Structure 1
Amino acid sequence: RFHVEASASAEATDTQSATVLLIDTEIAECKAIEHMLAFMGASVTRASDLSHMEMASKFRHILIGGRLLLQAPDSERANLQRWHDRIAVLANIDDQIDHWHCLLRPVTASALQGLMRQTPRAADAGERAHISRHTRFDHLSVLVAEDNDVNRDVIRAILGALRIQPVLCKNGEEATAAYRAAGGAFDLVLMDCEMPVMDGITATQKIREIEQQSGLSRTPIVALTAHVLQEQRQRMIDAGMDNFLSKPVRKDAVQKLLADLGMEKHLQVVSFDNRRDS
């Protein structure tokens, strides 16, 4: 405990001279960002529109909501370029924002700490831009039905590493109830086939019935199975399953599955270093 508190104090000291202009319309997130920055020792001024950029010269860092940037007229965005080195854009995963330094929402304390430690005018000192494309899955809502505690924990850990927080069920009956209660609001269902109370094939059939009766769009259902004989595979397909994931489940297999289903989202992030060209 002492070590953590000492580290937090040191990090706050590093940013005590930082002044931040925060321009965004998301009130709740602005309050959270302001609280984190204040804890680090930074001074924050909040605004809700880009007209406040007229006082940009007073601030070491400028945080701008991605939607404000995207909705701004071309002339206004062109004017923002003069402050490019001070601006970080608060971007959602689906925002199409190029050539700006981005902080992905929800903004974390570690991301803010990294930003606060940057030198304000590094870009004018021969800074190099690095454009990276990040694959994200944290927008997904996933329902998992698996009766084995170990297997369920493995799947939860794999999805957690992909920043997916799944809804976990121990049998098909629980999964069917969860699907109905959520109004089918899942992007994916991972369904074990052999479970007590209600097996995965029966649960899949019931989910498909719910979709038909309620006019819901079809959610991909992927079978979790250690072995699939041809006749079993056909039975799963006939029940309404769309794909198969072999046990033990591996992270790379899950990532490939999500990519094959077109569930990836990408964010292009521009970051900088201070190395000069020789």
Structure 2
Amino acid sequence: MSTVRAIKNVWNRYIDKNKDYKNVSKVHIDLVERLEKIEPLVARLELSKEEIASKLQQGIPYLEGEEDKVELQFAIMHFRELSNWTGLGDSRSIFKKMGKKATDAEIQQLQRAWLLGDSTVIDQFAGQYNLPLDVLFVVIRYSLLPTLNQYTKEFEETKVFNEEEWMKDYCPVCGDQHGLAEYRGSERLRHFRCLSCAGDWTYWRIACPHCENKDHNQLSTLLIQEEKGSFQIDACDACHGYVKGINKLDPSSPMFLLLDDFATFHLDLLAKEKGYHRQGSQTTLQ
């Protein structure tokens, strides 16, 4: 079964239980169909195990310092696909115009700036094409996901990564912050997942990744049981940050990881209503 068909089946089950998911399912399915059109083939970084281990010991993500080596040919094609994505909402027309005018070199420079954390280039691109920054952030992230996930696979193949030695709030592959948590295994370990490259790493169950607070008196968990699954919100009263999570048997693949993010948007709304916020991350378009 194709990824798109499998995702449609999941959404259909969700919609049968809650019609409110119909619109968001269309947005996500359109996203997946556009991303699945192009399968990236990237040049391997071929870093030695010693080099990778040294970087990780210093808290340096796998791709940091290697940004210029990341193959962006397919990410550029994905960016163009997403310039007409239904998830852009009211911004769709201006992104469509941008997609017709922007050159591959401009888009490559934009994506490279994202990898390097260069906000100046991103701001200039947004200004040049009159694009809302928050929407542009999401488009860049999703356009890079299939490509960066190829580097995540290469990273995992090296088998150098030791989860117990990382325990950080950012991804060991690309350096982006976690997007959501998966509670897996018999011990329900908290696995953080990256929405930029689908990286996967563990973090302490009783600790806030935003401010490293480990005082259980300032940490709380809201458990939510629904027909489609069990979820939770881990909140910190010290910094008012939160992490949304879902119980899983196995780690989600990149496209299903995005489905989990879209399907748990109500958790973000609930957390915000209670005064918490996702620090340092961009929200998903709905």
TM-score scaled by structure 1?
0.25
Q: Which has the larger radius of gyration?
A: 1
More strand by share: 1
More helix by share: 2
TM-score scaled by structure 2?
0.24
